[in-house]
Structure 1
Amino acid sequence: MTVTRGESCLVLAMPHTGTWLPEEVQGALNDRGRALADTDWHVDRLYADLVPDATIVRANFHRYAIDANRDPEGRSLYPGQNTTGLCPVTDFDGAAIYRDGREPDAAEIERRRRAFHAPYHAALARELERVRDAHGVAVLYDCHSIRSRIPFLFEGVLPDFNIGTNGGLACAAKMETAVAEICASANGYTSVVNGRFKGGWTTRHYGRPEDGVHAVQMELAQSAYLASEALPFAYDEARAGRIRPHLKTILDTLIALAKAPATAREA
């Protein structure tokens, strides 16, 4: 993973922007898997330089090796709903991504957990502890994006801004409200709070406002900043330029609320 240290209270997590795969995983994937369609394409570029002094923890490995935003014990984040697991064997459309008989077994999943998932979260935990020690509070903003139409995962068209706070448990109520208001007032965009995406394992695991760590997941519809939600998933400068100011306002607001008196951070 890549860690870029900043001195503010904000930590940006990027678990799904990486496209690197170990040779043995790459060789086990079928043509569909090797397309890496479920990448959070260009999210690192979208958030680049929006706020000064943010810490960034970015996974370089692809989610098809192991998903850094899934429960390391393999428990589903959304019981009863279609989703992908810790080491996905299908893509977001429910199609197989491995060649026949090459899916990872329990031993291989554990090997990948130790090699990739555990180091990523060890780094993220260290940075959250560091900034909380420095500021008395840490804000974890988990950066994601996904195609806006995926019938296997959800009906219809996904809103542009999908705010996840684990049902309000992962951050102070005023933070959730502020982010929701910014997104709702963004002209030309749609938004929802704790809709189909309520926050992955990262948000649920680290979001402990009572301990001074506030977590918000933002799942963006890729149609809001990509030229197309299909290969080659090209970045659209104009679309990205329109949404970036709203993302900056969100991050600036979260930092301001974290610096506010304790009553402004209480859930």
Structure 2
Amino acid sequence: MSPDTWLEIHRGDAPLIVSFPHTGTELPAGLEDRFVSPWLARRDADWYVHQLYAFARELGATTIRTAISRSVIDVNRDPSGVSLYPGQNTTGLCPLTTFDNQPLYRDGFEPDDAEIARRRERWLTPYHEALASEIERLRTQHGRVVVYDAHSIRSHIPHLFEGELPQFNIGTNTDTSCDARLTDAVEQHCAESGLSHVRNGRFKGGWITRHHARPAQGVHAIQMELACRGYMDEPSQVTPDTWPTPWSPARAQRLQDTLRGVLSAALDFARTSASLR
């Protein structure tokens, strides 16, 4: 991996940015051997989510993606390391454990403060600078812009949440990161799918949603956390032999149809809001 390929930016002209902070699986040179195993360091990726939303470019959206694994550094966490979900089990800025609370690093190879600072400056800061730059570019053109933060996670992870996760998990930092009309429109499409959904449930939006949102200035941010079962098979036992299951366009089609409606609704909101300035 060359130094300039870890950050992928596709620039569109519509007032919509789709962020992919967790689809990366790259383990930079010098770090891979510190992990218990490469598979474990990649296991909690948002598998295939950038492929699931590939149609976003057809809508004119800008997309931003990091190829770096979230196990190296999670660009959707507060750079200070403060938890976004106080009192709940979660993973940190440079996670030490998996979603299932398994150690990620070999004994003695965990990142110290200096290493965390290095990773933050190398990967997290540029990601957010790029996102801020694209937000300003599109806001200048349109007056309003929607930042849509795209995620997925396994349906059952007892360490993080009880029971089965709803299919669509809409996060707006408890209705503060965007206009309620946007959330209502997104929620309506999720409800019409006939699949389960929740608004500001276990996942209320991470650092991207909370940090970049400025509704009063025309920047509306919303996170969508999908349960993986909607577009890929989830094995009963997650092992190197069973996970991730292969990407299947046919398997993903139903969910993509709903997500296309969701992003179209976000665009309609941004364009309508802009006309009301």
Q: Report the TM-score when normalising by structure 1.
A: 0.95
* Structure 1 residue 24: Cα displacement: 1.9
Decide which of 221, 234, 245 is 2:257's aligned counterpart: 245
* Structure 1 residue 263: Cα displacement: 9.1
* Structure 1 residue 257: Cα displacement: 1.1
* Structure 1 residue 180: Cα displacement: 1.0
* Structure 1 residue 261: Cα displacement: 4.5
* Residue in 2 that maps onto 1:105: 112
Query: Retained in 2: the 8 A contact 1:33–1:98?
Result: no
Q: 1:1-267 maps to which residues of 2 (within 5 A)?
A: 1-31=7-37, 34-50=40-56, 51-187=58-194, 189-228=195-234, 230=238, 231-261=243-273
Cα shift readout 1:29-76 (whole Å, capped 9, x = no counterpart): 002764511000000100002442110010111101100000001010
* Structure 1 residue 233: Cα displacement: 2.8
* Structure 1 residue 82: Cα displacement: 0.2
Matched pairs, number: 264
Aligned mates of 1:210, 1:221 — CA distance in 2: 31
Cα shift readout 1:104-140 (whole Å, capped 9, x = no counterpart): 0000000000000001111111001100011001110
Aligned mates of 2:31, 2:192 — CA distance in 1: 43
Query: Retained in 1: the 8 A contact 2:47–2:152?
Result: yes
- Amino-acid identity (%): 50
* Structure 1 residue 262: Cα displacement: 6.0
Alignment CA distance shift 1:262-1:2 (3 Å): closer
Query: Retained in 2: the 8 A contact 1:137–1:258?
Result: yes
Q: Which runs of 5+ in 1 are unaligned?
A: none
For residue 111 of structure 1, give the secondary structure of its aligned residue in structure 2. helix
Aligned mates of 1:261, 1:2 — CA distance in 2: 29
Aligned mates of 1:264, 1:172 — CA distance in 2: 13
Q: Which runs of 5+ in 2 are unaligned?
A: 1-6
Query: Retained in 1: the 8 A contact 2:154–2:234?
Result: no
Aligned mates of 2:232, 2:217 — CA distance in 1: 37
For residue 55 of structure 2, give the secondary structure of its aligned residue in structure 1. coil
Q: Report the TM-score when normalising by structure 2.
A: 0.92
What is the RMSD computed on CA atoms of the aligned residues? 1.5
* Structure 1 residue 219: Cα displacement: 0.2
Cα shift readout 1:71-110 (whole Å, capped 9, x = no counterpart): 0010100000000000000000001010011000000000
Aligned mates of 1:70, 1:143 — CA distance in 2: 14
For residue 260 of structure 1, give the secondary structure of its aligned residue in structure 2. helix
Aligned mates of 1:157, 1:264 — CA distance in 2: 41
For residue 219 of structure 1, give the secondary structure of its aligned residue in structure 2. strand
Aligned mates of 1:239, 1:159 — CA distance in 2: 18
For residue 49 of structure 1, give the secondary structure of its aligned residue in structure 2. helix
Alignment CA distance shift 1:192-1:109 (3 Å): same
* Structure 1 residue 232: Cα displacement: 2.9
